[in-house]
């Protein structure tokens, strides 16, 4: 394991915050959000070492932060947040991740769970047939020519809507309106483009999914009403990213960033934290490629949402067409943002890896319909329990650069999960709970058993209690499509 070493000392700051004091070459301290139980689960975990490692990087502003869904990742921990000064800081692929703009999109329907239950099998089968899933899944009717692919990389979800995949109103409910500026297709390798040309509109495998659920509980009824989350209505949650294209972009730039770190004299506590100054030629090229891959992911989820609407219409007719996009959020991204530091507004490059932007009410980047609410934050759990909708808060903006958690966080490796599931029939177990599963392979389901994840309710409770997000609604699954 790269970057392994002694686990740093951790000190309790309050009930939901833990400090990793500065030591060695750390330029700042670490800050981990967790309750006592979640922190106990982290004992001896290299993810804590990774928080300290991030604190070594040049130009870091404020603490190296970890959310309560923290677990070990490549370079940064998953659940990691770090902000860097635009002039003195760095950009790191390890702070974004391999699946650039892996994210979540939530559709709300006008159908009640009572309407859907009798035809649930039909709906799950229609979604599985309509939205390609699995390793290397592609659609023969959406193979992009190079010119079209370059447009996707520049325009993101806006390209998809212009091609008839969805509605103009969808764009207001997507982070950054579904298009990140600064995307440069010329910075994306031919190999990455080749991998991406026939994967647009596909789920992929691993922890990606399409999930049918219903609003089971509302913690803030007025906010839930504003988001169109009526009690008992059926939802579709889509979790996917930039597929093979984004993976290849990350892979392509690792050697470049390692060489850049050496060129610019950046001492790395872990080679997986390879990076370059934000304004350097290497940093600018990675930035152009990263934003292009992120736009691909926005278009990918936009097209899958269109396919999901098509499946709903196939099963429920006109009633299935009455859907709206609640929101679509990024998880793995770096962004230029303005934050207040020491009483002054500063331009920062905020890395969020396995973390969700959680901007507060009144933030100018939010669309008018969310301006007085705050940004919706979508937190998927495992396929056997529940997911959550939250809203961004002033507390998050002050303390975490406007960031919250992104999911439950793994507690078992994929290998251990498969071992645990070997003698079981996981789809049958879930069906007994009223949850239908469709998957390309048994291995994917076994890797994603509910026990492989922390209880997302505990993670969300920490976020809510710490004031870096506020709970709005809980969604329970009834149907899951996996690769």
The answer to whether residue 2 sits within a structural domain is no
Residues 48-77 have a mean pLDDT of 97
The answer to whether residue 3 sits within a structural domain is no
From the list 448, 466, 301, the residue with the least C-alpha distance to 384 is 448
* Residue 132 Cα to chain centre, angstroms: 20
Tokens 């599931």 appear where? 421
% of the chain residues with pLDDT over 90: 88
The answer to whether residue 349 sits within a structural domain is yes
For residues 206 and 136, the answer to whether their CB atoms sit within 8 Å is no
For residues 349 and 89, the answer to whether their CB atoms sit within 8 Å is yes
Instruction: Summarize pLDDT for 73-109 with one digit per residue, the tens.
Output: 999 999 999 999 999 999 999 999 999 999 999 999 9
The answer to whether residue 299 sits within a structural domain is yes
From the list 198, 258, 229, the residue with the least C-alpha distance to 391 is 229
Strands (E) across 354-446 are located at: 356-357, 376-379, 387-391, 403-404, 436-439
Instruction: Summarize pLDDT for 35-45 with one digit per residue, the tens.
Output: 999 999 998 88
Instruction: Summarize pLDDT for 409-448 with one digit per residue, the tens.
Output: 888 888 899 998 888 999 899 999 999 999 888 888 999 9
Residues 256-274 have a mean pLDDT of 98
Degrees to nearest 5, angle at CA 478 with 416 and 469? 75
- CATH number, residue 441: 3.90.1860.10
pLDDT of residue 338: 97
- pLDDT above 60 for 4: no
pLDDT of residue 139: 52
Estimate the share of the chain in helix, then strand, then coil, as percent rounded to the nearest 5: 40, 25, 35
Q: Is 359 left (phi over 0), alpha (psi -120 to 50) or beta?
A: beta
- Domain membership of residue 295 as a residue range: 11-482
Which residues partner with 19 through β-bridges? 11, 31
Instruction: Summarize pLDDT for 141-193 with one digit per residue, the tens.
Output: 588 999 999 999 999 999 999 999 999 999 999 999 999 999 999 999 999 99
The answer to whether residue 6 sits within a structural domain is no
406 is catalytic: yes
Annotated active-site residue in 56, 306, 406, 464 = 406
307 burial level (CB within 10 Å; 0-12, 13-18, 19+): buried
- pLDDT above 80 for 5: no
- Note the pTM of the prediction, 2 decimals: 0.96
The answer to whether residue 1 sits within a structural domain is no
Which residues partner with 95 through β-bridges? none
pLDDT of residue 245: 97
- pLDDT above 80 for 119: yes
Number of domains in the chain: 1
| β-pair type (30-33, 17-20) | antiparallel
Q: Which of 239-243, 289-293, 347-351, 420-424 has the lowest mean pLDDT?
A: 420-424
CA–CA gap between residue 412 and residue 450 (Å, rounded): 10
- pLDDT above 70 for 2: no
From the list 193, 184, 191, 186, the residue with the least C-alpha distance to 287 is 184
DSSP 8-state symbol, 144: P
pLDDT of residue 352: 98
Mean residue pLDDT across the chain: 95
The answer to whether residue 123 sits within a structural domain is yes
Instruction: Summarize pLDDT for 443-473 with one digit per residue, the tens.
Output: 889 999 999 899 999 999 999 999 999 999 9
- What 3-state class would DSSP assign to 291? helix
The answer to whether residue 43 sits within a structural domain is yes
């Amino acid at each position: 394991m790269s970057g392994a070493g002694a686990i740093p000392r951790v000190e309790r700051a309050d009930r939901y915050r833990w400090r990793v004091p500065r030591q060695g070459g750390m330029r700042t301290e670490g800050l981990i959000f967790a309750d006592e139980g979640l922190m106990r689960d982290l004992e001896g975990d290299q993810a804590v070492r990774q928080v300290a490692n991030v604190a070594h990087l040049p130009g870091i502003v404020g603490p190296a932060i970890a959310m309560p869904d923290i677990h070990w990742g490549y370079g940064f921990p998953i659940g990691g947040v770090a902000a860097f000064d635009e002039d003195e800081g760095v950009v790191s692929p390890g702070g974004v991740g391999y699946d650039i703009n892996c994210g979540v999109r939530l559709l709300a329907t006008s159908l009640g769970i009572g309407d859907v239950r009798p035809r649930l099998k039909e709906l799950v089968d229609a979604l599985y047939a309509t939205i390609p899933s699995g390793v290397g899944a592609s659609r023969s009717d959406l193979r992009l020519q190079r010119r079209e692919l370059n447009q996707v990389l520049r325009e993101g979800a806006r390209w998809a809507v212009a091609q008839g995949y969805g509605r103009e109103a969808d764009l207001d409910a997507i982070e950054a309106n579904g298009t990140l500026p600064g995307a440069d297709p010329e910075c994306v390798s031919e190999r990455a483009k080749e991998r991406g040309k026939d994967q647009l509109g596909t789920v992929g495998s691993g922890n990606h999914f399409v999930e049918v659920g219903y609003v089971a509980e509302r913690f803030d009824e007025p906010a839930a009403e504003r988001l169109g989350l009526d009690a008992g209505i059926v939802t579709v949650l889509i979790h996917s990213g930039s597929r093979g294209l984004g993976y290849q972009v990350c892979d392509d730039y690792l050697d470049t960033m390692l060489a850049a770190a050496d060129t610019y004299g950046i001492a790395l506590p872990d080679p997986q934290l390879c990076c370059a100054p934000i304004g350097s030629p290497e940093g600018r090229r990675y930035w152009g490629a990263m934003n292009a891959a992120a736009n691909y992911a926005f278009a990918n989820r936009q097209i899958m949402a269109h396919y999901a609407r098509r499946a709903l219409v196939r099963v429920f007719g006109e009633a299935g067409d009455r859907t709206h996009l609640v929101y679509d959020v990024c998880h793995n991204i770096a962004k230029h943002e303005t934050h207040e530091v020491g009483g002054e507004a500063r331009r920062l490059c905020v890395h969020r890896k396995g973390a969700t932007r959680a901007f507060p009410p009144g933030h100018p980047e939010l669309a008018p319909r969310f301006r007085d609410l705050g940004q919706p934050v979508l937190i998927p759990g495992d396929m056997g329990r529940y997911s959550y909708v939250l809203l961004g808060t002033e507390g998050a903006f002050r303390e975490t650069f406007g960031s919250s958690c992104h999911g439950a966080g793994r507690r078992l490796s994929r290998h251990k999960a498969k071992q645990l599931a070997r003698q079981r029939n996981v789809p049958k177990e879930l069906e007994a709970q009223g949850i239908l599963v469709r998957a390309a392979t048994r291995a994917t389901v076994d890797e994603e058993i509910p026990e492989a994840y922390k209880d997302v309710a505990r993670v969300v409770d920490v976020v809510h209690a710490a004031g870096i997000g506020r709970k709005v609604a809980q969604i329970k699954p009834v149907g899951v499509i996996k690769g």
